[in-house]
């Protein structure tokens, strides 16, 4: 495509691109905390019913037992017989249970609910939303409701910001999203009630979608074709470090309000830095703002140390190179256009399956770290660290095997690991935890591949709408994932079967997507319809020549490209020749 050649003329992947990618990736160190924050903010500490107001452990200190053992007289054991019940206490203290070699039958003893509230263990968490608002026993579902409401906000943001970004630009929406996340995130740390906190988390979720969608497109649209996979994967490592930083912050602070403030306040700094970004020149051109696009390209050329290009690159040259994109932009596009034409419909349906399954499986494995029986902080660190080899594997696969094979392979391997874990006995916890980490690694690789692959499949005129559309499906998957865990009450293996089956199905859908490795980004729907499907050998040969920077004159004439870049000829000479 012509814009790819323009990008090479202003420096390719130069100094500007390095600064641009670094500044746009740094927020990932904190952004990663948002989706997984509920593991710590709403962690459930060990707890039991508080003792009746007219009893105190100090009044029975003459018993030669420690205070923990004294609780047996007040709190019955749970069904496992290994720990105190969390939701019941005896109506009257049962002192006989403190006797040595006691064998009393306690099944007939009267119990009651925790009328005086709960006592929480402070060794793992100092305070959480669970301990502050007593989200235990009958109110236990409200803990997961926080995460569901947050993901509902992310879903809403994917719908809203995808369309708004195509209309108002990537840079403007990214700046606004940073500010929104900073203000609302800090406000959630000051929430006076559970319901206020849920409202703030929902709005934070909306802002998170705005940041993620726009940072991806704004980054990708300034990156040359051949470095997109490398840049996309390396940029994702900021999110990997972010998951480990979350574990460290949570371990250090152990207070949900302080942790909430710590992961949201830095967005004010990101808001200030984001004003440095240049708006996507692609987006500016197709939205009839060529003057601004030209200024952005000149700015990039100067930063990249190529000031001479500013004299050669004029509006006429820009219009010649993007004439078809400008013509196509006369029409307005909606989400319906993602399904309107045959090829776009095929791409969109396949991506729906890929995104839903990836998110569904990823959050099914990530959102219940306390079930592994080890420190939640350690599990978060391990789950974060597994992303390094997983994403390096995804990068190697994308560069050598292509996007399609990488996407399908990550999903199918995740399904294999999850299904294998079903047959591992529950007492072999180390093996089960290891397999769960591998499953998360493969789903992480699937995520990074899907982000890059989707941006390469959808054309510029509707890219953000497309990203918002498939992200919507991903958020639906993340909202449904926790509810599947409740199926283990019917059959313990059922959640694993559902996660694995969904991943297999999505892996099959991925096989029907076109390959995009080393192919310039499409700018119009017409490009997508003609580029990847049923191409004749002659057309494919001409397109390969175009990718390498050499376009036959008959091909240029046939497609009304005006001035094209020919290897070894600069902009000014091409312009004079064309005139």
Inter-CA distances, 72 with 76, 104, 130, 136, Å: 6, 12, 24, 21
The tokens for 250 are 């949570």
38 contacts 147 by C-beta, under 8 angstroms: yes
Task: Kindly tell me if the per-residue pLDDT of 320 is higher than 60.
Answer: yes
pLDDT number for residue 539 = 43
SS3 state at 334: coil
Q: Is the pTM of this model over 0.85?
A: no
H/E stretch holding 48 reads strand 47-49
* Helix spans in 535-570 (H): 537-547, 553-558
Distance, CA of 30 to chain centre: 12
| Bridge partners, residue 84, by sequence | 77
H/E stretch holding 119 reads strand 118-120
Provide the terminal-to-terminal Cα distance of the chain, rounded to the nearest Å. Answer: 21
Average pLDDT, the chain: 78
Between residues 500 and 3, the one the model is more confident about: 500
Separation CA 203–CA 213 (nearest Å)? 16
Task: Kindly tell me if the per-residue pLDDT of 538 is higher than 90.
Answer: no
Q: Considering only 27-36, 99-108, 145-154, which range has the smallest mean pLDDT?
A: 99-108
Q: What is the pLDDT of residues 172-190, one digit of tens each?
A: 889 999 999 999 999 999 9
- Domains of the chain, with CATH numbers? 2-43+136-510 (1.20.1250.20)
Separation CA 130–CA 146 (nearest Å)? 11
Inter-CA distances, 407 with 80, 415, 452, 506, Å: 43, 13, 10, 9
Angle at CA 526, nearest 5°, toward 523 and 528?
A: 70
Write phi, then psi, for 118 (nearest 5 degrees). Answer: -125, 155
SS3 state at 563: coil
Angle at CA 573, nearest 5°, toward 570 and 574?
A: 85
297 contacts 10 by C-beta, under 8 angstroms: yes
The tokens for 258 are 């302080």
Mean pLDDT of 264-292: 83
Inter-CA distances, 204 with 12, 37, 183, 300, 570, Å: 35, 12, 9, 33, 48
């Amino acid at each position: 495509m012509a814009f790819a050649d323009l990008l090479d003329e202003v420096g390719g992947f130069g100094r500007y691109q390095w600064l641009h990618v670094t500044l746009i990736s740094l927020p990932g160190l904190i952004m990663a905390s948002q989706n997984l924050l509920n593991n710590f903010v709403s962690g459930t500490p060990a707890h039991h019913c508080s003792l009746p107001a007219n009893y105190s452990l100090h009044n029975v200190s003459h018993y030669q037992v420690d205070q923990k053992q004294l609780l047996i007289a007040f709190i019955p054991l749970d069904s496992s017989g290994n720990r105190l019940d969390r939701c019941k206490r005896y109506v009257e203290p049962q002192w006989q249970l403190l006797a040595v070699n006691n064998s009393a039958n306690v099944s007939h003893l009267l119990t009651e609910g925790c009328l005086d509230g709960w006592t929480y263990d402070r060794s793992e968490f100092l305070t959480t939303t669970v301990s502050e608002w007593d989200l235990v026993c009958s109110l236990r579902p409200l803990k997961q409701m926080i995460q569901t409401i947050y993901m509902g906000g992310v879903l809403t943001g994917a719908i809203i910001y995808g369309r708004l970004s195509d209309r108002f630009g990537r840079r403007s929406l990214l700046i606004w999203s940073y500010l929104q996340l900073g203000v609302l995130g800090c406000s959630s740390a000051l929430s006076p009630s559970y319901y206020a906190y849920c409202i703030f988390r929902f709005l934070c979720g909306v802002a998170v979608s705005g940041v993620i969608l726009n940072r991806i497109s704004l980054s990708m649209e300034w990156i040359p074709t051949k470095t997109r996979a490398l840049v996309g994967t390396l940029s994702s490592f900021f999110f990997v470090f972010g998951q480990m930083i979350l574990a460290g912050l949570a371990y250090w602070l152990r207070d949900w309000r302080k942790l909430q403030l710590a992961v949201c306040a830095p967005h004010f700094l990101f808001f200030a830095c984001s004003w440095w970004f240049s708006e996507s020149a692609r987006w500016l051109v197709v939205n009839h703002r060529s003057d601004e696009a030209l200024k952005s390209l000149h700015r990039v050329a100067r930063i990249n140390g190529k000031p001479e290009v500013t004299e050669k690159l004029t509006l006429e040259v820009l219009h010649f190179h993007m004439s078809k994109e400008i013509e196509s932009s006369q029409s307005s596009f909606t989400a319906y256009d993602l399904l309107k034409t045959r090829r776009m419909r095929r791409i969109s349906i396949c991506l729906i399956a890929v995104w839903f399954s990836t998110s569904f499986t990823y959050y099914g494995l990530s959102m219940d770290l306390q079930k592994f029986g080890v420190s939640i902080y350690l599990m978060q660190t391990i789950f974060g660290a597994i992303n390094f080899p997983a994403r390096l594997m995804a990068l190697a696969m994308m560069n050598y095997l292509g996007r399609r094979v990488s996407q399908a392979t990550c999903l199918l391997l995740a399904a294999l690991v999850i299904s294998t874990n079903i047959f591992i006995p529950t007492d072999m916890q180390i093996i089960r935890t290891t397999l769960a980490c591998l499953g998360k690694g493969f789903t992480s690789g699937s995520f990074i591949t899907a982000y890059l692959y989707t941006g390469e499949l959808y054309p510029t005129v509707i890219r953000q709408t497309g990203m918002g559309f498939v992200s919507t499906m991903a958020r639906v998957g993340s909202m449904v994932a926790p509810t599947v865990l409740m199926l283990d009450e019917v059959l313990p293996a059922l959640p694993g079967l559902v996660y694995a089956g969904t991943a297999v199905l999505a892996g099959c859908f991925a096989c029907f997507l076109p390959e995009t490795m080393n192919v310039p980004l499409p700018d119009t729907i017409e490009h997508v319809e003609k580029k990847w499907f049923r191409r004749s050998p002659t057309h494919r040969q001409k397109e390969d020549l175009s990718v390498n920077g050499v376009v036959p004159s008959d091909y240029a004439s046939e497609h009304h490209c005006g001035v094209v870049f020919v290897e070894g000829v600069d902009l000014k000479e091409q312009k004079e020749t064309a005139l």
